[in-house]
């Protein structure tokens, strides 16, 4: 298996790992999601380096990059600044930014702050469009429980990766081994939880940060391609239409048989689409605007609604003070919503 050479650069006192391949052609910067690393893009490097200059980095506190002393409340700004500094270090002046999940939110933050060096954006199920996120991530924000759920083990690593794709059989053992090795590095678990807890809680993603990000999205004029998997179990497809509402120059592609990481489920299709978009972004967006259907309004899951109706009776039957009763109701809500919510997010686009 071919892999790019690991390189390191010091940014604000932190050693950040990056991959850089290709010399000719347009520049592309790949930004991974939370808990990820440059390795998630290995399939893209194999092909794109032949026709493009491709850069990817481990964000601060992720992969094999150094861990910052703390993540500030405006962590997105810090992460976007790290991407810009690495671009400057390798002499990359302007590029198409490709962000997956949290990396999508970082790419949006980057485009808001430095629009002059963004040729175009490709956002793959980006975070920051809605407060909704998988219950597995929400539960990790709870102290003690999160530490138990993220304790490094190869089986947990494999489960986390396979939850992000539609076909678990497509995840190679070597990919799991590399991800587990990085998850086992000193301080990696604590860094993951600190980053997650800066913008998420049991109630989902921080709404104030969402409002700030969405307000900034309205100023982005760069051509933007949104890509979503119809079987995404991490961020629901409904978030794509929130993104379309706030991004003034965007189009959407839904891949019905892919999960959260479309570029892992369908690497050949993704690479072709990315190359075509980089070459002629406005042409692709013009076609997509004619094809994008109106958003579907999902009914509230009947099974969950039935369970929720029992909550008042359950809590009223126990004589507890109001604060404890509220906490108990929220915990019960999390438990009953988990299986139903995951099933609802598996519905493919029709």
Whether the Cβ atoms of residue 231 and residue 257 lie closer than 8 Å to each other = yes
Summarised one tens digit per residue, pLDDT across range 70-107 is: 999 889 999 999 999 999 999 999 999 999 999 999 99
Q: Is 302 exposed, middle or buried (0-12, 13-18, 19+ CB in 10 A)?
A: exposed
Q: Which of 88, 104, 116 is nearest to 220 (CA)?
A: 116
Average pLDDT, the chain: 86
The string of pLDDT tens digits covering residues 230-280 is 999 999 999 999 999 999 999 999 999 999 999 999 999 999 999 999 999
pLDDT number for residue 292: 61
The H-assigned helical ranges of the chain are 42-48, 75-89, 102-113, 135-140, 145-149, 154-163, 173-183, 188-199, 207-217, 238-246, 262-265, 267-279, 281-291, 302-309, 311-316, 322-344
In angstroms, the CA 20 to CA 146 distance is 34
Sole residue written with tokens 């083990």 = 153
pLDDT in tens, 187-240: 999 999 999 999 999 999 999 999 999 999 999 999 999 999 999 999 999 999
Place 306 in a pLDDT band, splitting at 50, 70 and 90.
low
User: Taking Cα atoms as reference points, which of 41, 43, 39 lies closest to residue 63?
Assistant: 39
Percent of the chain predicted with pLDDT > 90: 79
CA-CA distance, 222 to 293, in Å (whole number)? Answer: 22
Whether 184 has a pLDDT exceeding 60, the answer reads: yes
Q: Give the residue from 141, 140, 108 showing the smallest Cα distance to 124.
A: 108
pLDDT grade for 2, boundaries at 50, 70 and 90? confident
As a whole number of angstroms, the distance between CA 285 and CA 306 comes to: 42
pLDDT of residue 170: 81
Pairing of strands 27-31, 95-100: parallel
Residue 283 clears pLDDT 80, i.e. is over it: yes
pLDDT at 264: 95
Band (23; pLDDT cuts 50, 70, 90): confident
């Amino acid at each position: 298996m071919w892999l790019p050479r690991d390189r390191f650069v010091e940014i604000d006192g932190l050693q950040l790992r990056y991959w850089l391949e290709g010399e000719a052609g347009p520049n592309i910067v790949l930004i991974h999601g939370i808990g990820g690393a440059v390795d998630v893009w290995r399939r893209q490097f194999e092909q794109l380096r032949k026709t493009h200059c491709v850069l990817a980095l481990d964000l601060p506190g992720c992969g094999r990059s150094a861990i910052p002393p703390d993540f500030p409340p405006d962590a997105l700004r810090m992460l976007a600044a790290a991407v810009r500094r690495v671009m400057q270090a390798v002499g990359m002046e302007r590029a198409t930014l490709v962000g997956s999940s949290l990396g999508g939110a970082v790419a949006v933050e980057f485009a808001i702050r430095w629009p002059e060096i963004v040729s175009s954006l490709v956002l793959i199920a980006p975070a920051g469009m809605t407060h909704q996120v998988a219950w597995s991530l929400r539960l990790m924000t709870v102290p003690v429980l999160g530490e138990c759920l993220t304790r490094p083990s190869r089986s947990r690593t494999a489960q986390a990766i396979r939850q992000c794709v539609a076909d678990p059989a497509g995840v190679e053992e070597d990919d799991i081994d590399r991800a587990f090795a990085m998850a086992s590095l000193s301080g990696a678990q604590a860094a993951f939880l600190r980053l997650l807890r800066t913008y998420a809680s049991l109630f989902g993603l921080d709404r104030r940060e969402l409002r700030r990000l969405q307000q900034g999205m309205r100023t982005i004029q760069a051509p933007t391609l949104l890509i979503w998997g119809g079987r995404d179990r991490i961020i629901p497809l409904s978030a794509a239409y929130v993104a379309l509402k706030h991004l003034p120059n965007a189009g959407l592609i839904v891949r019905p048989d892919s999960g959260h990481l479309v570029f892992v489920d369908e690497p050949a299709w993704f690479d072709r689409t990315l190359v075509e978009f980089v070459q002629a972004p406005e042409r692709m967006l013009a076609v997509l605007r004619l094809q994008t259907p109106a958003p579907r309004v999902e009914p509230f899951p009947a099974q969950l609604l039935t369970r929720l109706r029992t909550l008042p009776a359950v809590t009223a039957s126990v004589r507890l003070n109001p604060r404890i009763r509220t906490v108990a109701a929220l915990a019960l809500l999390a438990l009953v919503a988990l299986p139903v919510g995951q099933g609802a997010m598996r519905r493919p686009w029709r």
